[in-house]
A and B are shown apart, each in its own frame.
Chain A
Amino acid sequence: MEIHSMHFKARAGQKMADVVLQQNLKKTRSKFVDKRANAIRQLDDFEDLRTAAQELRDRVINNLDLWLERFEEEATRRGATVLWARDGAEVCRLTVDIARKHGVTMAVKSKSMLSEEAALNQALEAAGIRPVETDLGEYILQINNNEPPSHIVAPVFHKSKEEISALFARTHGLPPKTGIEEMAREAREVLRPHFLSAGMGISGGNFLVAETGSVALVTNEGNGRMVTTMPDVHVAITGIEKVVPTLEDLATLMRLLPRSATGQSISNYFSLLTGVKKPDDSDGPRHMYFILVDNGRADLVAGEYAAMLRCIRCGACMNHCPVYQSIGGHAYGWVYPGPMGSVLTPLLGGIENALDLPQASTLCNQCGSVCPVNIPLPDLLRKLRERQLKNGLRPLSERLLLRSWSWLARHPRCYTLAAQLGARYLRWLGEDGKRIRVLGLMPEWTTGRDLPAPPGKTFRELYAARARARK
């Protein structure tokens, strides 16, 4: 998917003015935040659990090549084919090749963020293979002119029921429905023939289990199960960092993932898919492929951003982010929004293509404090800011301001004078000694709020005067 993160600020402005979106974003708290809090409260060992999860993810990342080899060995032994993709283009090429090899003209898909990274749907269409999204959210986006998702767990979080109702009526040529259940039924009816006729199912993968060569899928709609078991060919596409050593490790992470994501103790469906259909199996694919994707991840393994590879894609960081809550996911301009996206987008898509993202955070650490694998997101954002500055990627005005301010702060006499002048200037700007409505030096402050005016003398100035008076 093309990166549009350079336009973050302008897009964020549009999103703040979007009345419908703002209404929908208000549901973040009840839909995600409160539910997660309740689910986490029910665990009596959340802190221990997330420490264990962090350690196990780090253990994998430190020996990623070994665990991936083990996975490949076990998956191959069970009849699957493991393929490796360096980038999105390779994902597309490999998937198209598989489809052609098996004479596939239509593929049903369950949710996969990696396929968004790779822009797989466009590539399949260009190759004459029709992709049909079957996750309800992804389906809605696909029929809405391939709109990108705005949330990694709830892709149509930005849309209201009414918008979806109108879209369905337009696309399906049926009378508009008003209830969510009716709409879901309508989508199921439209999708059913596709499940029955598709030659290939494409899924993502929440985890890969090295000791059994399995892929784990966490879903709530059951479409993932049909996509991966009904067609003859199953292709699971996921990032190389998704591997975990054992089923026991998977169980540890599964205690955290649904709780952190949707506040469920377990998702409606949990599938562990291992190998191709055996003669006495009632269902399953005859051909199973894994496409394990690097797309910039391997470069992170040994560096200062390695902690980002722990991510299990629960979305808790964005649900709790005051910035995400204000603008939703589209303004971020790529596949991953919110704090994890503000770290991943510059790392995977090029730091120069997403200059605003690491800056667009208050570093409040609401994200880090809910992260189930303890990713220090504010620290990683700060490291990206360091790299921007080091590589000369910040605007000249900002660099000059920073340099002069830090020079002043290191020279107390000059600083004292500057602070005194500043305090007096701001006092002078204040209306009736109370508020500043327009601040020319920092116009962005006063576009949306006043600045309380200062009294005009600095603390140290007054303190020194008091000390003199006492003598």
Chain B
Amino acid sequence: MRVGLLVTCLIDMLRPRIGFATLELLEAAGCSVVVPQTQTCCGQPAYNSGDRTATRQLAIKLLGEFEDCAYVVVPSGACAGMVRKHYAELITDDPALAQRMATLAAKTYELTEFLVNVAKIENMPGNHTGSVTYHDSCSGLRELGIKAQPRRLLARLPGVTLKEMPDAEECCGFGGAFSVKFGELSAAIAERKCNSIHTAAADVVVGGDLGCLLNIEGKLRRMGDETTRVLHIAELLAGVCGDGSEGC
């Protein structure tokens, strides 16, 4: 099964470890993974800023890079949602291209839904021990319906106890460019999310989107919480948390 890894621009630049964790999980699930080296960004920042022309150009670029893969897997609900739910509608004037885009959209998956629903992964390399709480990121949850998959995967790690936070489905306040256009508002929403996380009193907050995780971690630290760890689900499942400490 030839799988293309769309690593996402945020992970590429800000936390490459998540990319390697994803790679490891896909290989553990028996996939042969390709990483197109010219990939940059799915175009969601342009799309949400109202620049359809640039979005369309980036969609066509991504199509060229990933079209020959059997599946495209993305360790992000936001970017997977962008490709799957919005790419096809960008092409209104070229039926052949629109068809190719629809095919690409249909074979694009967020990581946890791919592992559970398509690859049906049996064993995960991770061996984390402790309590975790899961934050449902908005696009994954509300565009792709991802809710059960990450929890099913976490349940496969014998040492992990899931402690649900209240309002796990509430937005964390990231919102892409929103977080820097309306920083104060964004941080106020993040504070509510962090309070929910504290109510869960877990050792680790886990999520499927790095944008949200940076927002949450940044707010937790600013609130003086130096201990709650913030990890991408791929890091936890693959057991690569980067500090070289006892399993994760």
Chain A: residues with CB nearer than 8 A to chain B? 9, 12-13, 16, 29, 322-323, 325-327, 359-366, 368-369, 382, 384-390, 394, 398, 402-403, 405-406, 408-410, 412, 415, 419, 422-423, 426, 435, 442-452, 454-455, 457-464
Which A residues are in CB contact (< 8 Å) with B15? Answer: 454-455
Q: Report the Cα distance A114→B222, complex, angstroms.
A: 44
Q: A364-B138, A447-B187, A460-B37 are in contact. Are A410 and B13 (CB under 8 A)?
A: no
Query: Could you jot down 27 A-B contacts, CB within 8 Å?
Result: A12-B182, A13-B184, A16-B184, A322-B171, A322-B189, A359-B182, A360-B181, A361-B178, A363-B138, A363-B178, A389-B49, A394-B50, A403-B54, A410-B57, A410-B58, A415-B40, A423-B13, A444-B179, A446-B218, A448-B184, A449-B187, A449-B218, A449-B221, A449-B222, A455-B15, A457-B16, A462-B20
The interface size bin for chain B is 35 or more
Say how far B216's CB is from chain A's closest CB, in angstroms. 9
Find B214's partner among A389, A403, A422, A451 (CB 8 Å cutoff): A451
**Is B52's CB within 8 Å of the partner chain A?**
yes
Among residues of B, the one whose C-beta sits closest to the C-beta of A426 is B14
Verify B185–A449 contact, CB threshold 8 A. no
Say how far A402's CB is from chain B's closest CB, in angstroms. 6
Q: Report the Cα distance A361→B49, complex, angstroms.
A: 11
Q: Report the Cα distance A388→B48, complex, angstroms.
A: 12
**Is B41's CB within 8 Å of the partner chain A?**
yes
Chain B: residues with CB nearer than 8 A to chain A? 7, 9, 11-17, 19-20, 23, 35, 37-41, 43, 45-52, 54, 57-58, 61, 138, 142-143, 167, 169-171, 173-176, 178-192, 214-215, 217-219, 221-222, 230
Q: Which interface residue of A12, A359, A447, A452 has the most chain B CB atoms within 10 A?
A: A452
Verify A387–B40 contact, CB threshold 8 A. no
Verify A405–B45 contact, CB threshold 8 A. yes
What would 4 more interface pairs be, CB under 8 Å, given A412-B40, A454-B15? A29-B167, A422-B13, A462-B20, A463-B16
Which A residues are in CB contact (< 8 Å) with B40? Answer: 408-410, 412, 415
Which B residues are in CB contact (< 8 Å) with A457? Answer: 16
Q: Report the Cα distance A390→B53, complex, angstroms.
A: 11
Q: Report the Cα distance A445→B217, complex, angstroms.
A: 12
Which A residues are in CB contact (< 8 Å) with B175? Answer: 361-364
Which B residues are in CB contact (< 8 Å) with A390? Answer: 50
Verify B178–A445 contact, CB threshold 8 A. no
Which B residues are in CB contact (< 8 Å) with A455? Answer: 15-17
Find B181's partner among A322, A444, A463 (CB 8 Å cutoff): A444
Q: Report the Cα distance A388→B51, complex, angstroms.
A: 10
Q: Report the Cα distance A449→B219, complex, angstroms.
A: 5
Q: Report the Cα distance A410→B11, complex, angstroms.
A: 18
Say how far A423's CB is from chain B's closest CB, in angstroms. 5
